[in-house]
């Protein structure tokens, strides 16, 4: 089961990374990045790193992506959509599929209540913080520089070119 979840999350991660690189629309690219960051959080969960998965979702998929999407929306004027909705049938299908997913979530949560609680992982937030700021300080800072470079890249790409 865990290997299947890992393979599925890895495939979604690779697919969303390809979608991020290949899409010309910056908003679609940002949404593919959100999917990619979510799949990385699932990969963290399969490795037993619940804190990192939660931090991934809260910090990167939440806060950073809201900032990116906001910057893209402000810097790139969008086209007004007029006329009939070309995806109306797909949008009408979203409600029953969402309901089915909700039922599946409820079934999974009720089945989980009967299962015995797992043991707490070794270490914890304190040992993670100690490792993050000692042994893994360089990769941590490198990640912050990469995020800064990505933000500068978005601003450069979004800048209007003189005609």
DSSP secondary structure of 56-76: IIIIIIIIIHHHHHHHHHHHS
DSSP 60-121: IIIIIHHHHHHHHHHHSPPPPP-SS-TTHHHHHHHHHHHHHHHHHHHHHHHHHHHSPPPPPP
Q: Give the mean pLDDT of 144-157.
A: 79
Residue 48 phi, psi dihedral angles, 5° rounding: 85, 20
What span, in angstroms and rounded, lies between the C-alpha atoms of 81 and 85? 9
Please state the separation of Cα 71 from the chain's center in Å: 17
Highest mean pLDDT among 32-41, 50-59, 130-139: 32-41
Q: Which residue has the tokens 């960051």?
A: 37
Please state the separation of Cα 119 from the chain's center in Å: 27
User: Confidence band (pLDDT; 50, 70, 90) for 84?
Assistant: confident
Q: How many CB atoms lie within 10 A of CB 5?
A: 13
Question: What's the pLDDT at 14?
Answer: 94
Question: What's the pLDDT at 18?
Answer: 92
User: Confidence band (pLDDT; 50, 70, 90) for 145?
Assistant: confident
What span, in angstroms and rounded, lies between the C-alpha atoms of 115 and 78? 50
Question: What's the pLDDT at 150?
Answer: 82
pLDDT at 12 over 90: yes
Question: What's the pLDDT at 15?
Answer: 93
Question: What's the pLDDT at 13?
Answer: 92
Q: Give tens-digit pLDDT for 119-129.
A: 545 667 778 77
Mean pLDDT over the full length of the chain: 79
Pick the residue with more confidence: 115 or 34? 34
pLDDT at 163 over 60: no
Question: What's the pLDDT at 125?
Answer: 74
């Amino acid at each position: 089961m865990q290997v299947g979840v890992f393979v599925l999350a890895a495939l979604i991660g690779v697919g969303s990374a390809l979608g991020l690189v290949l899409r010309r629309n910056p908003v679609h690219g940002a949404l593919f990045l959100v999917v990619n960051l979510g799949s990385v959080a699932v990969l963290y969960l399969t490795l037993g790193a619940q804190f990192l998965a939660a931090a991934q979702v809260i910090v990167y998929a939440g806060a950073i992506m809201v900032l990116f999407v906001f910057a893209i929306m402000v810097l790139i004027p969008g086209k007004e959509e007029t006329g009939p909705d070309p995806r109306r049938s797909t949008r009408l299908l979203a409600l029953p599929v969402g309901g089915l997913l909700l039922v599946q979530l409820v079934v999974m949560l009720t089945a989980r209540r009967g299962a015995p609680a797992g043991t707490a992982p070794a270490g914890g937030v304190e040992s993670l913080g100690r490792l993050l700021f000692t042994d893994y300080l360089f990769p941590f800072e490198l990640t912050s520089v990469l995020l800064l470079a990505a933000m500068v890249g978005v601003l450069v790409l979004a800048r209007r070119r003189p005609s």
